[in-house]
Every structure is written in C-alpha cells, then in structure tokens.
Structure 1
C-alpha cells in the first residue's frame, strides 16, 4: 500500500522491533504476578491494568496500553504455550512485513478496541489481538506447519480456520458480541481486505475470459477442410494436406497424388 510505504519511510525508525514478543513477555510477567498474589490482590491488580473507560477518562491513560498485557489464559502451561506461539508468530510477521508494519497492525487493533470501549463500552479482550495476529500469519504463510503435541502436523490455515470457527460459535451463542468481535478484527480486514477483494476480482476476470474463450471454440467435430473427392477431413487424418482447386473445391494430398500419378 503506497500510504503505508510513505509512512514507513518517514516514521519507520521509531518502530519497536519484536513488539509482539515484548507483549507476550509482559503477559507472562502479569501471569507470574497474579500467581504470587492473593486472590483479592490479583483481582485488584488486573483491574488496575484493564481498559476501564470511566477510569481512563479520569486520567489513567496507562490503561490504553496495559490492557494488552492481560493474558488470555491464566493456566500456566497454556499461557506458556500461548506466549511461545505468539512469539513465533511475531517473528514470522516481522520477517514478512518488517517492524513498522507489525507495529502499525498492533496499534491499529489497540485503537479499534479503545474506540469500542470508550464509545460503546464493548469488551477489549486481548485474546482477539492474538487471534488477529494468527489470522495475519495464516494469510501470509497458509501452508506453514506446526506440530500439535510435537507429533501431529497441522497447517496454519487450518489452525486459523478452527480459531475462526470457535469465535463464530461464541458469537452465535451471544449475538451481542458480533459488532465487538468485528471491531476487534478491524486491523485484519484493513490489512488484507483490499488484497482479498482485488484477488477475487482478478479471478472473476480470468473466469470470464476463460468462459469467452470456451464459448468461442468451435463445437466438437467441426472441420475446416474436406476433400471434394474422398470426402475426408483433417479430423480423419491429421497428416492430410489440402489444396484449393481452380473450381474452388478442396482436394487432399492423397487424391491429388492419384490424379497426377505421383
């Protein structure tokens, strides 16, 4: 996108390398803090980090950023696996996009969910940041494989499809979440929507041209040359050579040779 390229040329030096890995690291740190605290202290700590619109309007601006550090899962094993997976995805995206575009993608998500929280009081779950990163990685590297339980290879496109299906199931159970979920994936739609639309348009043009070509082809069994003597056509023998007589009729090379005694 030309606009993104111009922004990158001007502000690319301000990008934070490894931003996704940093977020994953802070999520593990928050998990550790929650585990060593009492239940009351942990609840107060998470409330201190969450994106609370009322507290934000009272000057607690750190909430614009700290809500991203709240882990989506508080099980140690799953949180570790999720953080490692998130770091791996972050490295892949940065290798494909560069640090600036990854930063823009993450900041775009933060902006969208912040607007939703402030204006509509929608939830700003950090889980959807991970999901949008997963969708971006699966779009760029659909055939990249991961090994479930270090045994079963699964391509990223199927992992993303399963994740999307689970989210769709949640939305079906609670339709009120539809708009918040769409807003939380707005960065993905903005990043990949134009390319997806242009690709579908290109495929439609190709299909249209192929249809016109197929319709322009002569029906099966159609011939262009027929010998006026033996009535054979090029479909009967591809080796036949046809010549036009002075009368306008065609004659094949075999009949012509017979007539000339050749």
Structure 2
C-alpha cells in the first residue's frame, strides 16, 4: 500500500496517540448519558435520514453509544480492548492504527447511507443496526492476525490461543451474515471492511507483524554503533562515502547480502560488489 506509506510520511505527525483510550473515554461518556438521561441516546444514533434533515452530529455521535452488558462484563471488555488496541498501536505505529480505526468508522457511516438509499428511506430505526460492536470486533481480529499464537485465559481459567477464538468469532459473523437480512449484512460488511482491506493484502501485513518488528528492532540496535559518522551524520554510503549531510535527498539502505553492516546510497545499492 504505497498510498498509505505516502500518507504516513506527509500526515504521520498528526496521528492521535493512545487512540484506544479516547474510544474508551467515549464509551464512559455514553454510559454516563445512559445512567442520567437514557432517552438522550436516541439523539446520538446513526440515522441517515435525520442527518440529511440537519442533525449532522449523528455522523460521529453514534460512537459514544456503549456496548450492552452488566458492569462486570463491561469493565472486562473495556480492559481487554484497551490492551489489544494499545498493542496494535505499538506494533503498527499510531498513524496506521488511526487509519484502521477511522476507516472502520467511515465505512460504517457510508454503509448506513448506502442502506438508506437502497431502502428508499422507508426502514426506520437504522441506527439500531449500526454500532461500534463490529469495529471492536475488527480490533480483536486484527490483534489475532498479528499475534495468532498468544494465549488468553478463557473465563480466567482455560488457556486458548487467540487465533482459535478469532476463528470462532469469524464463524459467528458468517452465521449472522447468512441468516440476517439486508440491513444486518450491510452493517456487518461495512463495519469490518477495514479489516478486509488491511489483512487481505500481504504486502501491508508482513512488515508490521510482531516478529518482523522485533527483527527490525534487533537490527537497528546492532547497527546503531556503526551509524555515527563525521559531523553527526547517521548514514554513509560504503561506496562513494556520501552522507545525508552531502545531499539531503539521498536515500540509504543496508544490503542483506553483504556480511556486516554495510549501507549504500540509492545509486550504489544495486550496483555495488557484495562484501563476503
């Protein structure tokens, strides 16, 4: 996904760090509204018809509506998704995690409007079908795809690898798709479309798996003592001797076929003689 790399270089500094914490904070606000003025939640749902009538806040306010459940299961769920989301942000980086979450929100909104057009605005209460449930599910599936062999304690007792839990959830999702009506299907597909786009592209997944991140971190640690050159330069071509101080537009890469930490500029990366 070259477009994502370009976006990250240009807008990466604007990424929201600890995004999962803000999402959970939104749920807490939603629980507060439910406890104090439960009827007000009806003004927050994702209703395309009412949005087109001027209630534009519904485009974003629906993410405040918290998942159902008792207080114990809710606390456990929030703690779980905080740990999963934080781990994903550390693995992918804040910008890519932001794109993943916000694309899920955007696709859900688009799905709601598509459904509104399909039904001709006849079906009322579409907002009840669109929630953050499947967006939270996409976080779980993304974590399972990144850390498939990590074990969780099911009911705090039974250890089970997260990839098997994800497989069970996938079966439930497919079952909901099979038995559900058009409204249910559009809601599920639109909410999980971000997961489909991210994880059906191996070029996007592999560089951001935990194993690959650990390998890169180890390599940077080993190469660090060799990356301090004259006048404070951090990159130097082993062929021509130029650094980023000589030409800021130069790009440098290490060669995996050379024995040792040899770095080359873009002009000599593919033309140099390998050091054996």
Q: TM-score, normalised by structure 1?
A: 0.68
Q: Alpha carbons of 1:173 and 1:48: their partners in 2 closer, same or farther (altered >3 Å)? A: same
Alignment of 1:89-100 (within 5 A): 89-100=84-95
Number of aligned positions between the proteins: 194
Rounded Cα–Cα distance in structure 2 between residues aligned with 1:180 and 1:112: 9
1:29 maps to 2:29? yes
Specify the alignment match of 1:171 in structure 2: 177
Specify the alignment match of 1:80 in structure 2: 75
Shift in Å at residue 56 of structure 1?
1.4
3-state SS in 2 of match to 1:146: strand
Structure 1 unpaired stretches of 5+? 200-262
Shift in Å at residue 190 of structure 1?
0.7
Q: Which has the higher helix share?
A: 1
* TM superposition outliers: structure 1 runs of 4+ over 6 Å: 196-199
Rounded Cα–Cα distance in structure 1 between residues aligned with 2:179 and 2:199: 27
Q: What are the Cα deviations for residues 136-192 of structure 1, in whole angstroms up to 9, with x where unaligned? A: 111011111111232221211112112122222223332433343222211011111
Shift in Å at residue 198 of structure 1?
10
Shift in Å at residue 26 of structure 1?
1.7
Specify the alignment match of 1:153 in structure 2: 159
Q: Alpha carbons of 1:63 and 1:175: their partners in 2 closer, same or farther (altered >3 Å)? A: closer
Shift in Å at residue 25 of structure 1?
2.4
Shift in Å at residue 115 of structure 1?
0.9
CA RMSD of aligned residues (A): 2.2
Rounded Cα–Cα distance in structure 2 between residues aligned with 1:124 and 1:29: 18
Q: What are the Cα deviations for residues 119-146 of structure 1, in whole angstroms up to 9, with x where unaligned? A: 2136322101001111111101111111
Rounded Cα–Cα distance in structure 1 between residues aligned with 2:31 and 2:168: 26
Specify the alignment match of 1:137 in structure 2: 143
Q: 1:183 aligns with which of 190, 193, 202?
A: 190
Retained in 1: the 8 A contact 2:46–2:58? yes
1:193 maps to 2:188? no
Max Rg structure: 1
Rounded Cα–Cα distance in structure 1 between residues aligned with 2:136 and 2:167: 14
Rounded Cα–Cα distance in structure 1 between residues aligned with 2:32 and 2:146: 33
Q: Alpha carbons of 1:74 and 1:62: their partners in 2 closer, same or farther (altered >3 Å)? A: farther
Task: Identify the range of structure 1 (115-124 vs 184-193) with the bigger mean alpha-carbon deviation.
Answer: 115-124
Shift in Å at residue 197 of structure 1?
11
Retained in 2: the 8 A contact 1:113–1:124? yes
Rounded Cα–Cα distance in structure 2 between residues aligned with 1:29 and 1:197: 34
1:5 maps to 2:11? no
Q: What are the Cα deviations for residues 207-229 of structure 1, in whole angstroms up to 9, with x where unaligned? A: xxxxxxxxxxxxxxxxxxxxxxx
Q: TM-score, normalised by structure 2?
A: 0.65
